[in-house]
Amino acid sequence: MSGLKGMLARNQVVKLTVNHAYVYLLHLLHTVLDLLPWFLRGLVWRMFMPRAGRHLFFDHKVYIKFPWLLEAGDRVSINRGVSFYPDFFGGHRIILGSDVRVAPGVRFHAASHDTGDTEYRHTGGTITVGNQVWIGAGAIILPGVTIGDGSVVGAGSVVNRDVPPGVVVAGVPARVVRERMLAAGDGSAAAENPAADPS
């Protein structure tokens, strides 16, 4: 780690001061964006993002700490109160595929801290969400997780490991509760497969 990131990582006081100033400016940006209509709000976020697909919708009260570390495909819907925390120091991103639906209050945490270190050294991992994924309200997605195409994350779940394609996961921590029957060809969900439900 070199340059600004290295200096911030070495000096906790400077790191906190810079972070407080950045968060304050970011708060001002979010305040202004929440006053704008959806199409202008989306346009501003797209200016910061390295990849932003067509028909990308940001509801009110969406929080993105480092927008240049967020990517999204086509027809992505991000509902009210969703929070994105990419990993600034490690450069780990949050990547959403196409046709992704993110319900209200979902939190993505690509950054974390080493619980085995007395100084809680910074850690993290890129979060990758595949195509045709629905993430239920209040779910938490933790660092390094990949969610496979066509999967569903149940409301309130904590996802701390990879999710295979075409399944429904739920719980704390999230576990596979059933498989989904996907339409041939496009990976979209045609119907649930009740025969695969273990309950």
Alpha-carbon gap, residue 78 to 72, rounded angstroms = 10
Segment 120-149 shows an average pLDDT of 96
Q: Distance between CA 119 and CA 133 in Å, rounded?
A: 36
* CA nearest to 155, candidates 101, 99, 110, 196: 101
> What pLDDT, on a 0 to 100 scale, did the predictor assign at position 13?
80
Tens of pLDDT, residue by residue over 71-125, are 999 999 999 999 999 999 889 999 999 999 999 999 999 999 888 888 788 889 9
Residues 27-40: what's their mean pLDDT? 94
Whether 109 is catalytic: no
Query: Active-site residue among 30, 92, 113, 122?
Result: 113
pLDDT of residue 176: 97
Confidence band for 195, pLDDT divided at 50, 70 and 90: very low
Q: What predicted TM-score, i.e. pTM, was given to this entire model?
A: 0.86
